[in-house]
Amino acid sequence: MNKVAIAAARERRRTGLPLLRYGFRPFFLGAGLWAVVAMALRLGDISGSIVGGFALHDPTRWHAHEMLFGYASAVVAGFSLTAVPNWTGRLPISGMSLLALCLLWTAGRIALLTSFLPQPVAAAADAAFLPVLAAVLAREIVAGRNYRNVPVCGLILLLGSANALFHLEAIGLISAEGYGVRLAIGALSLLVGLIGGRIVPSFTNNWLGRQKLARSAIVLPWLERLTHASTVIAFLAWIAAPFAWQTGITLLIAGAAHALRLSRWTGWRAWREPLVFVLHAGYAWIAVGLLLLGFADIFDSAWSSAGLHALGAGAIGTMTLAVMTRATLGHTGRELHANRATVVLYAAITGSAIARVLAGLFAGAYVPLLIAAGAFWLVAFLLFVGVYGPMQLAPRVGDAS
């Protein structure tokens, strides 16, 4: 596409509805709103004020699904659709094409919210989104000859496969239980590890440079290969054979590799900028989750829930919220700095993750800790919607409309 055509296309995007100009806008806003709705319903189920009615006929199963394939999938969509123009040099997916993707994601949320539709129909409506998203991204990446990012499409397809597997288990066509959740946790954790390995040291060094400090976040190629390989092996073992001591060994090795990788990024030097420091805190949960799962497989299976939620609420919850806040600020033309409300929402998501992990470790305080985790989660995402929602709805700073 020549420069004149690109300029014309960008002008059309500026004059369209702001919400549909870039992928992060509708999907980050949708993810934030759905995080609030889904957690409010979960707390209603725990308190007994909401009973039944979900398409999956199990509120706990529905909650797990909507956190992984509802909330997290929307964040993945928003991030990848926003990043792919930078990867390929092509224009972003916007306008009616972006609206169609949003409606497809929304259809899945509505289909699974009630038991009105037959379960196979609801499952099909929900399962369509991730393969379509992967196909759209693959088209852009291939057209832009940016083959380095093909693995991102592969991980999104893997997440879509986990969603299909989850529904097959729920419907009863597969007798096994838990494979869909473990595959989803694995795929999302690998995605966090892959993207985090690029942005965390880069953003840390960029901030240190702006502060006139030495850039100290180091990426070691041999450690990158070790971390990715050990994590893939560990998750394959955990998906196929959880609670085996051999699996525990692979998880411990992967957790140690992530901890060593994180230590080389010197996150403690960026403590004065929460927008950067939270990325290190979120990434640390990957190491914690893998280590807890490893200990669970070797010593005490009761720790398994703590490890799973360290990855889910901790790594995935914190990193997605950190990426959404930073990307929204940057792509709407605002200063990359965390205001007080943002610091509070980071503290709230951290409190939610800690409380949820502790609930898996202390059975006697399970319900109070579960409620505390849900309350902290609601604070975090209500703040996100309240502070960042208006930015996603408004034109970029400096644009006329």
121-172 residue pLDDT tens: 999 999 999 999 999 999 999 999 888 889 899 999 999 999 999 999 988 8
Q: Is the pLDDT of residue 5 over 60?
A: no
pLDDT band for position 78 (cuts 50, 70, 90): very high
Report d(CA 65, CA 63) in Å as an integer: 5
pLDDT at position 316 is: 97
* DSSP string of 286-299, one letter each residue: HHHHHHHHHHHHHT
CA 29 to chain centre: 14
User: What pLDDT does 56 receive?
Assistant: 67
Residues 23/400, Cβ–Cβ less than 8 Å: no
Residues 166 and 245 in one domain: no
Looking at the structure, tell me whether residues 168 and 24 fall in a common domain: yes
Using the predicted structure, report yes or no on whether residue 386 has a pLDDT greater than 70.
Answer: yes
Q: Clarify whether residues 185 and 253 are in a common domain.
A: no
Residue after which a domain boundary falls, among 191, 208, 243: 191
Same domain, 153 and 233: no
Please report the pLDDT score of residue 192 as a whole number.
94
What pLDDT score does 14 carry?
56
Distances (CA, A) of 104 to 116, 119, 128, 129, 364: 18, 17, 8, 6, 42
Tens of pLDDT, residue by residue over 210-262, are 999 999 999 999 999 999 999 999 999 999 999 999 999 999 999 999 999 99
In a domain, 214, yes or no: no
How large is the average pLDDT for residues 348-354?
98
Selected residue with higher pLDDT from 115 and 256? 256
DSSP-based helix, strand, coil % in the chain, nearest 5? 80, 0, 20
- Whether residue 205 lies inside any domain: the answer is no
pLDDT number for residue 104: 97
Name the band, by pLDDT with cuts 50, 70 and 90, for residue 11. Answer: very low
Q: What is the pLDDT of residue 51?
A: 61
Q: In the prediction, which pLDDT does 74 show?
A: 98
- Contact in structure between 88 and 63 (CB atoms under 8 Å): no
pLDDT score of 53: 58
Do you know the residue count of the chain?
Answer: 401
- Helical H segments across 89-220, by residue range: 95-113, 119-127, 129-143, 150-171, 179-210
Q: What is the dihedral of CA 155, 149, 105, 317, to 10 degrees?
A: 70
Span 102-114, average pLDDT: 93
Q: State how far the Cα of 369 lies from the Cα of 383, in Å rounded to an integer.
A: 21
- Compute φ and ψ for 396, nearest 5 degrees: -60, 145
Say which residue the tokens 């033309």 belong to.
333
Answer yes or no: is 105 within a domain: yes
- Average pLDDT on 318-325 reads 97
For residue 273, give the amino acid letter: E
Residues 239 and 355 in one domain: yes
- Of the listed ranges 105-119, 183-197, 297-311, 346-360, the least confidently predicted one is 105-119
Could you tell me how far CA 314 lies from the centroid of its own chain? 10
pLDDT given for residue 58 in this prediction: 79
Domain assignment present for 59: yes
CB of 144 closer than 8 Å to CB of 104:
no
H/E segment holding residue 259: helix 245-263
Structure tokens at 191: 């995605």
If you write DSSP's letter for every residue of 216-242 in order, what string do you get? -----HHHHHHHHHHHHHHHHHHHHST
pLDDT band at 64 (very low <50, low <70, confident <90, very high): very high
Mean pLDDT of the chain: 91
Split into its structural domains, the chain has a count of 2
Region 32-42: mean pLDDT is 95
Same domain, 306 and 378: yes
Tell me which of 149, 165, 191 is where a domain ends: 191
Instruction: Give residue 126's pLDDT.
Output: 95
Q: How confident is the model at residue 8 (pLDDT cuts 50, 70, 90)?
A: very low
Residue at 219 is within a domain: no
For residues 34 and 168, state if they share a domain.
Answer: yes
**Does 106 reside within a domain?**
yes
| Residue 398: pLDDT over 90 | no
| pLDDT over threshold 60, residue 3 | no
Q: Please report which confidence band the pLDDT of residue 347 belongs to, taking 50, 70 and 90 as the band edges.
A: very high
Parent domain of 169: 1-191
Residue 9 sits in the same domain as residue 65: yes
334-371 burial, b if ≥16 CB within 10 A, otherwise e?
Answer: eeeebeeebebbbebbbbbbbbbbbbbbeeeeeeebbb
Structure tokens at 187: 């795929």
Task: Work out the pLDDT band at 401, boundaries 50, 70, 90.
Answer: low
Q: Domain check: are 238 and 180 in the same one?
A: no
pLDDT more than 70, % of the chain: 94
CA distance 254 to 287: 8
Residues 232 and 88 placed together within one structural domain of the fold: no
Q: Indicate if 182 and 237 belong to the same structural domain.
A: no
Helix (H, G, I), strand (E, B) or coil at 158: helix
Residues 233 and 156 in one domain: no
Its pTM stands at 0.92
Check residues 184 and 171 and name the one with the higher pLDDT. Answer: 184
Residue at a domain's end among 170, 191, 212 = 191
Q: How far apart are CA 69 and CA 327, in angstroms?
A: 21
